[in-house]
A and B are shown apart, each in its own frame.
Chain A
Amino acid sequence: MMALATLIPSPPVDSDEDLMVQVQTGSDEALALLMDRWRAPLYGFLVRRVGDASDDVFQESWIRVVRARDRFDPERRFSTWLFQIANNLCRDRWRRLSARGRAVEAFTRESIATRPPSAEPEIREPDTMRARVLTLPEKQREVLLLRYYQDLSEAEIADVLGIPKGTVKSRMHTAVKSLRQLMEDEGVSE
């Protein structure tokens, strides 16, 4: 039985790019396969990138993949394209939030000043790596997440973010330095 199983060749596994070409012709099975392959990496990236908004951005990313399917170039890596779409959505969201944030900033400051003292103790997030990564500036955080957690090469990160490789390196360098500094400030030894 074992011998027979080894004699039967396993069906060839389609690459992400092949599947995307099938999606371009309208195959929803190929889309389901792609989503199954990339659900964990993409969701992980988004949770680390935008926290609570990850569900919305996850959904929107795939919708964009489908809508822009005709613009996908099979010569390019699908993963790079997917993360580029997701990262752009994160940036849009951040820009929207920061614009709105500026508008409500004055109101919030005022309401905090006039708020009566709360009976419940304030819940403070412990000094975890999560908190530290989320403290990093946007540009450093996206480079770190793509490099460390998504294991993308510098060239791929440059492609995703649309910046030169040298800039990726310098942002990565700054991100790592900032993280170490944060840990030192908290008295955490490596």
Chain B
Amino acid sequence: MTFDRRDEEIRRALEALGPDLDTFRVPDAPDHLVERTMRRARGQLLAPQRRHAAETERPTLPKGFKTELVRLLALTAPIAAATIVCLSFVWEHLPEWLAWLPAGLAAAAAGAWLVGAVTLLSLTYGSLPFFAHQRVLRASAQDAANEARS
């Protein structure tokens, strides 16, 4: 059978079946279903936007923070270098200085001294970002106050 003949046959059959097919009526979508669907779909639609908004609202570092941190690091670099030189000098001579102590006690004292020195350095350098942040905030608050005054 050719397509044209078949098309014609289908068309005629549908026309003939039409009145019967039309008796298969269906109700309209209930309003509560459409409302519920719209609510859920809207939630899906806005979800990425909310996520994006949350991302943009994430606290960011104040302007000038990096510069201030680098400045503080540069300021403390000579102090850090001097401290490391001192520490290594002390470390070199520690066995002589602690020679009068029993061996176990001397090792414990040297270990405690080493841990203390490293902790002190870590705390000093670890707190630099905090100080930099505080200084930048204070500076920008000061600028704002000066602007308001002028």
- A residues engaging B (CB < 8 A)? 23, 26, 28, 31-32, 35-36, 39-40, 42-44, 47-48, 55, 58-59, 62-63, 65-67, 69, 128-130, 133, 147-149, 166, 169-170, 172-173, 176-177, 179-180, 183, 188, 190
Contact A43 B26 (CB under 8 A): yes
Across-interface contacts of B7 in A (CB, < 8 A)? 169
Across-interface contacts of B58 in A (CB, < 8 A)? none
Which listed residue, A23, A149, A180, touches B45 by the CB 8 Å rule?
A23
Contact A26 B44 (CB under 8 A): no
Contact A180 B13 (CB under 8 A): yes
Contact B21 A43 (CB under 8 A): no
Of B32-40, B69-77, B97-105, the segment with at least 4 beta carbons within 8 Å of chain A is B32-40
Contact B41 A166 (CB under 8 A): no
Q: Which residue of A lies closest to B1 (CB)?
A: A173
Contact A190 B17 (CB under 8 A): yes
Contact A26 B46 (CB under 8 A): yes
Contact A26 B20 (CB under 8 A): no
What distance in Å separates the Cβ of B55 from its nearest Cβ neighbour in chain A?
15
19 contacts between A and B (CB under 8 A): A31-B42, A32-B38, A35-B37, A35-B41, A39-B28, A39-B34, A47-B26, A55-B30, A128-B24, A129-B20, A129-B21, A130-B23, A130-B24, A169-B7, A172-B10, A173-B6, A179-B17, A183-B20, A190-B16
- B residues engaging A (CB < 8 A)? 3, 6-7, 9-10, 13-14, 16-18, 20-21, 23-24, 26-30, 33-34, 36-38, 40-42, 44-46, 49
* 11 more CB-based (< 8 A) A-B contacts, given A59-B33, A129-B23, A149-B21: A26-B45, A35-B34, A42-B29, A43-B26, A47-B27, A58-B37, A63-B37, A128-B24, A173-B10, A180-B17, A183-B20
Task: Give Cα A31–Cα B44 distance, bound, in whole angstroms.
Answer: 11
In the complex, number of A-B residue pairs with CB atoms less than 8 Å apart: 96
Q: Which residue of B lies closest to A30 (CB)?
A: B45
By Cβ-Cβ distance, the 10 closest A-B pairs, closest first, are: A43-B29, A176-B13, A47-B26, A39-B29, A66-B44, A129-B24, A44-B26, A59-B37, A130-B24, A62-B41
Q: Which residue of B lies closest to A69 (CB)?
A: B45
Across-interface contacts of B40 in A (CB, < 8 A)? 59, 62-63
What distance in Å separates the Cβ of A25 from its nearest Cβ neighbour in chain B?
10
